[in-house]
Amino acid sequence: MANLINSAEVRETWAPIIESATGINEAEKLAWMSEYCHNHKLYEDAHLMSLGTAGNIYGMGNVSLPSATADGSGDKAPTLLPLAMQVAAQTIGLDLVPVVPMAGPMGLLSYLDFVYEGGKLAGDVAPTYIKTDAAKAEVDGKDNSGFYFAWVGSSRIDNMDIYKVTEVANELVANTSVSDAINALDTEVDADDATIAIVKSVELVKGLEDHIKGFAAADEDGNPFSRGVGEQTPDKVMGLSLFSKSVAAETFQVAAAVTREQVQDLKQFGVDAVAQVESVLTNELTQSINNLILAKLNSLGKANVTAANVNLDCNLGAGTLGGETIASNHRRILTSILAAANFIANRGRRGAGNFCVVGPKVATALQSVAGFVANPMANTLSQAAGAIYPVGSVAGVNVYTDPRQAWGADNADYEVVVGRKGDGNGPGLVFMPYLMAESVQTIAEGTMAPKVAVKSRFALVEAGFHPETQYVTYNVKALSL
């Protein structure tokens, strides 16, 4: 399903409606919600409720849900956009990750990376670099299918060895490319002239994550060219590579039913039972999506710390000095958040962390520290019970509270997740909604009572080569208030 108008027209059409319905006025969120609403409206226009025939009497036929290839039954509400907008607006987890709406149940997520591409490999004219998990003794200085490799260091991200293609056999020079050098490492010929596999993984070296000292310089020590040498030396080549990842929408679904008596009797109190059921189901979808996003962030953050082999825990019970107060002890938590944010900048090299998620007890400690300024984060939405919610910011890092974390006893340990929200073109977690909320109302044949089913379809994608470098998970130890 393709967009029929350009993004500027989509934004102009939908932004006022979204702002009026939800109170959202943040430019970034209005942008992706406008695109989502446009896609959702196209979906609804293509799947209007259909009526079957029974003799010469029009009826609704069997209850059926709409799909990509078939219309739904007449039970499908004519428009579900207000419900979808509320789910999107109340899902605070979407503030933590970039959102790229999908126009259908399948889609492509594209992201960019810069690599030491090299071009032709004849001599040292335009060298290329690769990294591999093959044993160093199998590659360094060896002739692999006419290619010669020299070890230049190890990757700071995954510890794979980095090699420079230093020479190419004469018979290969004319039609040699970067991919040929990579393929050469897939096999080698042993002493008995038997071809054997020596490597599980070979890839190009990324310019941002694995910077190679001396690539733009005169030598490997990083010294610059003199003018005369620079004039006669061909440029080494870096490439901009666009990668695509195929994704498919997955589903959260939940249903609820009310009795006819509830519908009738609650009216005297001004309560719409069906509307209340939809509200509860919306909250359930919101919490489910929030929990999924937080679990992924937590897992990636732990993987990053493990791969880096560092300890970022904030131990409030260690190294206390005479004269310290509880407030000065709690001030360490702020420092640990900033340390984790800067560690993300160091590992991912795309910027520092700009959000963190803490439990209610850590949030209380942060709010009590002088100098922690609550950010009003203007909006008119009431946060759904159990959902994460914003509490403020410190030094440019937005702080969110996850009330699912237990309060705990004094001197307990609490997890903190710090991350960087990107733009969807780089590494990290990306949320791709297809249908944020789709509702079907039916009438049970036996009791004639209404039943409401709500479904959300989306993809949560790990984009880029090292998405874990954009997140950190650590513990605040021995916290007491």
Residues 6+ apart with CB under 8 A from 94: 29, 88, 289, 293, 431
Paired tokens of 175: 């039609």
Q: 10: closest CA among 101, 106, 110?
A: 101
CB 133 within 8 A of CB 160: yes
Q: State the residue for tokens 């080494």.
A: 236
How far apart are the C-alpha atoms of 362 and 477, rounded to whole Å?
10
Lookup: tokens for 266? 């609650």
How far apart are the C-alpha atoms of 249 and 102, rounded to whole Å?
9
Residue 298 in contact with residue 102, Cβ under 8 Å?
Answer: no
Distance CA 61, CA 49 (A): 11
What are the DSSP E strand ranges found in 147-267? 147-154, 161-168, 187-189, 195-197, 202-204, 239-248, 250-257
DSSP 101-158: --SSSEEEEEEEEEE---S--STTSS--EEEE-S-HHHHBT-EETTEEEEEEEE-TTT
Spatial distance between the Cα atoms of 453 and 77, rounded to a whole number of angstroms: 11
Q: Counting runs of H as helices and runs of E as strands, what totals does the chain give? A: 10, 20
Instruction: Give the whole-angstrom CA distance, residue 274 versus residue 438.
Output: 15
- Per-residue model confidence as pLDDT tens for the chain (481 residues): 444 457 777 877 888 887 777 777 777 777 877 787 777 777 666 554 444 444 444 455 565 555 545 555 544 444 456 666 666 666 777 888 988 888 888 888 877 777 886 554 444 444 578 888 877 877 787 766 667 788 888 888 888 888 887 666 555 554 555 556 666 665 554 444 444 444 457 777 888 778 887 788 888 788 898 989 888 887 777 877 777 788 888 999 888 888 888 888 888 878 788 778 887 888 888 888 888 999 999 999 999 999 888 999 998 877 666 667 777 888 888 889 999 999 999 888 888 999 999 988 888 888 877 565 655 544 444 444 455 677 788 778 888 888 888 888 888 889 999 999 988 777 899 999 888 877 777 777 777 778 888 888 899 999 887 899 999 999 999 888 8
Of the candidates 352, 459, 361, 449, the residue with the CA atom closest to the CA atom of residue 395 = 352
User: Nearest-CA neighbor of 22 among 418, 445, 378, 413?
Assistant: 378
Structure tokens at 111: 């992201």
Nearest to 395 by CA among 372, 369, 366: 372
